[in-house]
Amino acid sequence: MFKPTEKNQMKIFVGFLIICIIIIAAALVISCSTKDAGNEVDLRLHDIWALGSINDEEFVKDELNNHPVIEIYLKEERIHGNAGCNTINGKVEVDDSNITFSEIISTEMACPGDLEQRFLTALKMVDNYKIEKLRLFLYEGEAERLVFRKID
């Protein structure tokens, strides 16, 4: 029967330690390589935002419409909110200062006025953003389409 000596036990332990280090190093390399170092996401986006203006026109709440609000969930790449009358859900993709909203669906209540249509149209047009002084500015190119204020 094999009886390990102290020297053999040390070799087994060192071999085991080397295998563990290799596995950990491989896991770190794989996890780091799946992240694109140039694509940083601004975590301040992950919040609740209330509409301030559409196409440079200040939003003024009236008795007919709710306040349009979006909540951005970065990890799940989705949004949820209210377009002024109907509840909305959709997809959001963020890459550096680029942002797009797609696959937006909403409930289908009849709504007064054109606020909701203007809001959803502008939301679908945006392609970049900036956050400044607790405000989220959404642009199509250089044209400001929507401005939100942080409410959470």
Is the pLDDT higher at 136 or at 38? 136
Q: For residues 18 and 2, what is the distance between their CA atoms, to the nearest angstrom?
A: 23
Is the pLDDT higher at 3 or at 22? 22
Q: For residues 94 and 78, what is the distance between their CA atoms, to the nearest angstrom?
A: 10
**Has residue 112 got a pLDDT over 90?**
no
Contacts of residue 92, Cβ cutoff 8 Å, sequence gap at least 6? 72, 73, 74, 77, 78, 79, 99, 100, 101
pLDDT at 30: 61
**Has residue 36 got a pLDDT over 70?**
no
Choose which CATH entry (3.40.50.620, 2.30.110.10, 2.130.10.10, 2.40.128.270) describes domain 43-150. Answer: 2.40.128.270
pLDDT at 37: 44
Give mean pLDDT, residues 55-84. 91
Count CB-CB contacts under 10 A for residue 85. 19
pLDDT at 48: 96
- pLDDT confidence of 32, banded at 50, 70, 90? very low
Every domain of the chain and the residues it spans = 1-35, 43-150
**Has residue 39 got a pLDDT over 60?**
no
**Has residue 118 got a pLDDT over 50?**
yes
